[in-house]
Structure 1
Amino acid sequence: MPSLLVVVFVLQLTIHLVNTFGASTINSLLWNIYNSLPTPTSKSASEQKELKRQFIKIRTELNATSSQDEFARWAKLRRQHDKLLEQVEKNKATLDSTKTTFDSVVSTLRWLGTNGLRMFLQFWFQKEPMFWIPKGWAPYYAEWLLSFPRAPVGSISIQAWSLACMAIILLVSDALVAIFALVVGSASATKTGKPMKVPSGEKEKATAQTEKKEL
């Protein structure tokens, strides 16, 4: 069985990742994975992709066809366009209804597996010390705060450990984002390859030498 310290840290990291990427992004990713598996909606999703592909193709041809010079071809493409549009809208309505139910179930399970589990652990282990502070390392009021609300004084409570994990994760996340932005900015500047500016004094000196050689 994994240590409770590790479980709380992983749980806080999961909550941070969910909050960073966003619930809608995660739901869309899970929805695409769900449709790629042999599920009841996988066939409808595949048909929707094919219908969209055909619709875009017909629409492109329709826009490139003159309704005056090529009326017969234009009218045929228009009928195909309207028929495909109706099929796309009908199939989309069915998938959207299923996706709404899917998002609701996934959101509930995600909350139970993250915030719900965190609340349960903090309630169930509120009297359990995560680890003990060496005696004399902190004053009594600090020991009391770190053991809040019901852990033994002189120990770290699960609430205090959760807050510490959250603070560390935020600091590391901000540091990684800053490093990434710095690397991308440096790479972009290198790729642009802006010419280095020549100081005005050096430029005048080079011009004078050139004129002297010409004389």
Structure 2
Amino acid sequence: MVSLLLTVFILQVVIHLINTVGATTINELLWVLYNKLPTPSSTAARNAALQKREVLRLKKEMNGISAQDDFARWAKIRRQHDKAVAEHDKGASALQASKSRFDNAVTSFRWLSTNGLRFFLQYWYARTPLFWLPQGWVPGYVEWILSFPRAPVGSISIQVWGIACASVVKMVGEAVAAGLVLNSKKPAGGAREPQAFGPDQPEKSAAGVKKEL
């Protein structure tokens, strides 16, 4: 059952990473990578980016012209700007529809390959002992809990092993995050904490100070 033990552990690591990074962030990254490939939406994505730059260029140019001093030129650029905006909105709408379908497909695949697979393994191997505890090592009621819900008493069920893996992965993840935060807050090399007295200024005790009448 070594492979099943490792499978459950890796699955919990993947689920923890997805929850930490965020499903939306992962979808956005996969969408960018998807459009780098020769896919149906890659051309639309490039055109949308070009149209957006053109809209910004025309807007900047239009703002640099006075409508009172040079109305003819300003009106011409305004018509070009409105046309570019309409084309951009049309392309962006179609691209957003493609992205919504992509997000739905990625979300379904991610759920099936993580939580869906976890539920399937827990159901399929519900009666399978992953490993056995030494006889008499723990009380009987603890053996029953560790074999919950349907594994043989005295063994570790896949449900309990999954909970244990998830707990360990979460604790390690929190420890790593805390370590990174503490490391990022360390002072730069050579920096020292401020001292109450300078190196050339001897410390004086309150008893050595004379009061003047």
Indicate the TM-score class for this superposition, using the shorter chain for normalisation: 0.7 to 0.9
The 1:65/1:112 distance shift into structure 2, 3 A limit, reads: same
Corresponding letter in the other structure for 2:174: D
Task: Flag structure 1 segments of 5+ consecutive residues without an equivalent.
Answer: 207-215
The 1:190/1:73 distance shift into structure 2, 3 A limit, reads: farther
Cα displacement (A) at 1:156: 0.7
Structure with more helix by fraction: 1
Query: Counterpart in 1 of 2:211?
Result: none
CA distance in 1, matches of 2:194, 2:142: 58
Corresponding letter in the other structure for 2:141: Y
1:152-167 matches, within 5 Å, as 152-167=152-167
Cα displacement (A) at 1:195: 8.4
Note the alpha carbon deviations across 1:76-135, whole angstroms, 9 max, x for none.
Answer: 321221111111100010011111111112111111111111000000001111111122
Note the alpha carbon deviations across 1:129-177, whole angstroms, 9 max, x for none.
Answer: 1111122221111111111111111111000000000000100110011
Query: Counterpart in 2 of 1:123?
Result: 123
Corresponding letter in the other structure for 1:190: A
Query: Counterpart in 2 of 1:190?
Result: 188
CA distance in 2, matches of 1:154, 1:57: 72
RMSD, aligned CA: 2.4
Identity, % of aligned pairs? 49
Report the more deviating stretch, 150-159 or 26-35: 26-35
Query: Counterpart in 2 of 1:134?
Result: 134
Cα displacement (A) at 1:204: 7.1
Query: Counterpart in 2 of 1:212?
Result: none
Report the more deviating stretch, 134-143 or 158-167: 134-143
Which of 192, 195, 199 lines up with 2:196 in the alignment?
199
The 1:205/1:68 distance shift into structure 2, 3 A limit, reads: farther
Note the alpha carbon deviations across 1:178-202, whole angstroms, 9 max, x for none.
Answer: 011111111xx428x9886452687
Query: Counterpart in 1 of 2:12?
Result: 12
CA distance in 2, matches of 1:87, 1:201: 69
CA distance in 1, matches of 2:192, 2:70: 54
1:49-198 matches, within 5 Å, as 49-186=49-186, 189-190=187-188, 197=194
CA distance in 1, matches of 2:137, 2:49: 64
Number of matched pairs: 203
The 1:68/1:106 distance shift into structure 2, 3 A limit, reads: same
Query: Counterpart in 2 of 1:43?
Result: 43
Corresponding letter in the other structure for 2:160: A
Cα displacement (A) at 1:205: 6.5
Query: Counterpart in 2 of 1:22?
Result: 22
Corresponding letter in the other structure for 1:199: A
The 1:198/1:118 distance shift into structure 2, 3 A limit, reads: closer
Report the more deviating stretch, 174-183 or 197-206: 197-206
The 1:153/1:36 distance shift into structure 2, 3 A limit, reads: same
CA distance in 1, matches of 2:192, 2:167: 43
